[in-house]
Amino acid sequence: MVRVALYARVSRPDKNQNGEKKQTNENQLLKLRAFATARAYAIIGEYSDEASGASPHREGLERMLKDAYAHRFDAILIVRLDRLARSTRHLLNLLSDLQGYGVDLVCSDQEIDTKSPAGKLLFTVLGAVAELERELISERTKDGLARARAHGKRLGRPPKPELAEQIAELRAQGLSLRQIGEKVGLSHQAVKQRLRRARVQNRVGKAG
């Protein structure tokens, strides 16, 4: 018999004019219980959250994932994918974790089952979408940096004059670049760049 966990989430419980809740996790759980019963699944546990999908911490979801890791059930039942994940990337990461635990995901309203060929295709498509999303973000970042450089904008933290003076003093004392870096909390390459910049500024100052 397939052992399943039920998961439900609402962003917040809506209320009618009488102050009674209209949207609750119980509505989703009723549907999931009926779905499991119709397929003779054994319900091992029920988990729920009243939180935004964008919330980084959901107690019910976290408990369920711990139990999935412990192999307490074979599949997770949800009504729709948006009840589980806050983004495509988040969903892909969750599916990857569940796959590693040997736990499948089944959606009652969207006819998604990761045990089926269509479910495996969904996993592949989601992976491709997430990879494309990462590449687009990377390209936008690179383009933004290139535009900033083209307009003469300095990137990164502005140099601190007092730090440059400290580096120059330590260098005058005969310390190596690596030793200076350890003292001021920079890499030896960063120390080298600051020394080079200081020499250029000194030459410009003298020429002026």
Q: Would you name the residues annotated as active-site residues?
A: 11
Q: Rounded to an integer, what distance in angstroms lies between the CA atom of residue 93 and that of residue 38?
A: 30
Quote the strand ranges of the chain, DSSP E.
Answer: 3-10, 42-50, 75-78, 104-107, 112-113
Residue type, 153: K
Phi-psi region of 111 (alpha: psi -120 to 50; beta: other; left: phi over 0): left
Answer whether 71's CB lies under 8 Å from 101's CB.
yes
Question: Which is nearest to 75 in space by CA: 4, 149, 156?
Answer: 4
Instruction: Return the sign of the alpha-carbon dihedral for residues 69, 73, 79, 81.
Output: positive
Partners of 107 in beta bridges: 78, 112
Structure tokens given for 75: 């599949």
Task: Report the C-alpha gap between 132 and 61 in whole angstroms.
Answer: 27
Using a 10 angstrom Cβ sphere, with 0-12 exposed, 13-18 middle and 19 or more buried, the burial of residue 78 is buried
